Structure 1
Amino acid sequence: MATLTYVYADSTAVLGPLATYAEPHCYDLCAEHSERLTAPRGWEVVRLTVDTGPIRPSGDDLEALANAVREVARPPARRQDGGSEADPTEVGRRGHLRVLRTPDEFSPEG
């Protein structure tokens, strides 16, 4: 896969790595079409090296993933009465599920 960009004023088409954001006059091409690309007479085609190897995560990516996993695994702060500090109606939690008190259990009158 590659991104085709062109500049009419310079009569130049550039075929390079996939663009990371959308821009006017940019078109993503599959491998077959990028290999067969031709330009009109008088135009120059510049082919930049496209790395076709597998994309490997960087150290920053792995660290961000580890931090996210740690955050999800961290138990929520608990108050002495067993509720969550963030939500006074929460009695317990298991994964993404929460156990809540009924409204009369946590109301001042109840």
Structure 2
Amino acid sequence: MRKSVSRRCSRASCTSAAIKTLTYIYSDSTAVLGPLSTYAEPHNYDLCAAHSERLTVPVGWNVIKEEIIDHNTGPSDEDLMAIANAVREVANTDIGNKSMQPELGRRGHLRVLPSN
């Protein structure tokens, strides 16, 4: 059986245990700070209590802080539907944006778009 290892804060030289996960949504200029994610993701940042409380974002950005009040219950049906609708809306927006800008080439995760 594999022993669970707690994750550490992503901030440089911080050795505290992570309790929250920070995700940036660059297209919406939004930072989302929520409960510690189940798995470490390369584009997310795990933060300790001190760093999550002192979070600052660039001027003009929005911050969404998700707090779990009761750790014994999961998200409500209403919460799950709201998340599903938000994901669906973003997916539809991405599909619409891709059809309006033709790609000239692609290399890995990079795309070449025509200049205007």
Normalised TM-score (structure 1): 0.44
Normalised TM-score (structure 2): 0.42
